[in-house]
Amino acid sequence: MNQNLSKQQIKKLKKEKKRKEQRRQQKIEKAKSFLIQTTIAVTVLLGLFFLVKSQIKIRGKQLGEAKQIEGRNHILPGEEHNEYKTNPPTSGPHYGDAQPGGYYNQPIQDERAIHSLEHGYVWITYKDQPKEVVEELQKLGKKYVNRVVISPREENDSPIALASWGRLSKLETFNKDEVIAFIENNYNLSPERLAK
């Protein structure tokens, strides 16, 4: 059959065959590249999964009493909502803006603090505490500024309350070690893990 083809036609067929081979090689290279990238991505994701899982294990068991999650809907400031089932609240309807971390010498709105809990922060509230305890809480607010919100709260039914997403611990007296253990074991165990 090649005998009936002219030199130009044979040259054209060879070029076409070469182009097909190049396209085939390109497809193979793309497939290899995709496979390598997918393998890397899966490896990284698995690594992150096991890192987070091991981090939770390292931190140990969550402290405080587990509380029913009351939802996480955003509401407008001043909008009415059901009464929270815990004091202070550990979840539920909240405002769209979270309370930044740190110590506050004035009460903050429950609805803003809940948004911080959703972001993985621990909310430490207190009432009727001596100056020395308040100073210790201020120091903790500075040390854990990216993990805690600390504020006075007259509505508390205990002198000190430690809240994280769906967890609550009430203290009759300030115990620094217990407070730090609650922070270390309960921060970022929430729907949106933004605390550091």
Residue 11: which pLDDT band, with cuts at 50, 70 and 90?
confident
**Distance between CA atoms of 98 and 31, rounded to whole angstroms?**
45
Distance CA 66, CA 57 (A): 18
Helices (H), 76-159: 110-118, 131-143
* H helix or E strand, kind and range, residue 66: strand 65-66
Q: What is the pLDDT of residue 60?
A: 58
Model confidence over 117-149: pLDDT tens digits?
999 999 999 999 999 999 999 999 999 999 999
Pair 147, 121: CB distance under 8 Å: yes
Identify the band that residue 194 occupies on the pLDDT scale cut at 50, 70 and 90.
confident
- Tell me, what's the pLDDT at 51? 61
pLDDT value for 56: 47
Cα 88 to the center of its chain, rounded Å? 21
In the chain, what are the domain boundaries? 2-59, 65-77+84-186
Structure confidence by residue, pLDDT tens digits, 65-81: 899 999 999 999 989 99
Q: Classify residue 141 as left (phi > 0), alpha (psi -120 to 50) or beta.
A: alpha
Four-residue CA torsion sign, 185, 126, 135, 175: negative
Say which range, 23-27, 161-165, 181-185, has the weakest mean pLDDT: 23-27
Residue 85 — φ and ψ, nearest 5°? -90, -10
What is the amino acid identity at position 118? E
pLDDT of the residue at 3: 59
- Tell me how far apart the alpha carbons of residues 103 and 123 are, in angstroms, rounded to a whole number: 10
Which DSSP letter does residue 72 get?
-
Pair type for strands 148-152 and 94-95: unpaired
Q: What is the pLDDT of residues 37-46, one digit of tens each?
A: 888 888 888 7
Total length of the chain: 196
Q: What is the pLDDT of residues 162-183, one digit of tens each?
A: 999 999 999 999 999 999 999 9
Q: What is the percent of the chain where pLDDT is above 70?
A: 92
Predicted local confidence at residue 54, as pLDDT: 47
What's the rounded Cα separation, in Å, for the pair 187 and 119? 9
Provide the pLDDT confidence category of residue 86 given band limits of 50, 70 and 90.
very high
- Which of the four CATH numbers 3.40.30, 1.20.140, 1.25.40, 3.30.70 does domain 65-77+84-186 have? 3.40.30
Band the pLDDT of 53: cuts 50, 70, 90. Answer: low
What span, in angstroms and rounded, lies between the C-alpha atoms of 75 and 94?
6
